[in-house]
Structure 1
Amino acid sequence: MRGMEELTSIEAIERFIANHPFSFLYVSRQDCSVCHAILPKLRELLERFPSISLGHIQAEAVGEIASKYLIFTAPTLLLFIEGKEMLREDRFVQFGVLERKLENLIELLN
């Protein structure tokens, strides 16, 4: 994983997904304590997956994200592979399970 890119519009999100074969979106809210706790763990996990690019979206800044990507809670984690949503996790993330899912998807595609 390279770094984390802040995405501030639907257009930026769509560009990010189009430009990165493995696009992981992390949607959070400013006032969400769970969101703040999960982000460092997610970044640490994605260090083991250098092909995955991470984009961060503040839901308050991009209001239309809820309707465009059917997001009803925060945090929401979305993995897109070649532009298609392949994985969705939200609220309380089990990182062991998430890691196995990522490993399986990467292995399947290699």
Structure 2
Amino acid sequence: MKGKAMITLTSLTSVEKFIDEHPLSFLYVSRTNCSVCHALLPQVKDLLKELPLIQLGHINADDVEEIAGRLSIFTVPALLLFVDGKEILREARFVQMQALHEKISKVYQMVVTESE
């Protein structure tokens, strides 16, 4: 079982490779001076600890400016869940953690059940 290490993605190429290589990939897009981003990230990490098959990738949109255009991100934080390379879930700005947990868990259960 993989540890829940967050992978920092520093280019559009690394983001696309990350999504391709992980059947369940979760992208956390933030900016350096975003206080909401910094407050939310530890909560997201805790949430994903319960879902070990989801790999977490972090992108600082200040470092990878083209990410906004590539993923149509207009505000941060942006949280995106991909299953087999397809975006399944997207939350942005003001994220309700309980609702997010329920949505991700539902997708997770469907994916895990299908692969058994």
What is the TM-score with the length of structure 1 in the denominator? Answer: 0.97
What one-letter code is carried by the residue in structure 2 that aligns with 1:74?
V
The CA RMSD over aligned residues, in Å, is: 0.8
Moved over 2 A (4+): none
Q: Distance in 2 between matches of 1:89 and 1:8?
A: 21
1:42 deviation in Å? 0.4
Look up the match of 2:49. Answer: 47
1:5 aligned to which of 4, 7, 10: 7
Q: What is the aligned residue count?
A: 110
Give me the whole-angstrom Cα distance separating, in 2, the residues matched to 1:59 and 1:98.
22
Match of 1:36 among 35, 38, 42: 38
Tell me the distance in 2 between the aligned counterparts of 1:49 and 1:106.
Answer: 7
2: CA distance, partners of 1:86 / 1:49? 16
- Where does 1:12-27 land on structure 2 (aligned, <5 Å)? 12-27=14-29
Distance in 2 (alpha carbons) for counterparts of 1:20 and 1:2: 13
> How far did 1:2 drift?
2.2
Deviations 1:21-50 (A, max 9, x none): 000000000000000000000001100000
Q: Secondary structure at the match of 1:105?
A: helix
Q: Which residue of 2 aligns with 1:77?
A: 79
Q: Determine if the alignment matches structure 1 residue 92 to structure 2 residue 79.
A: no
Code of the aligned partner of 2:22: H
Q: Which sections of structure 2, spanning at least 5 residues, go unmatched?
A: none
- Structure 1: any 5+ residue segments left out of the alignment? none
**Identity %, equivalent residues:** 52
Normalising by structure 2, report the TM-score. Answer: 0.92
User: What residue number does 2:66 align with?
Assistant: 64
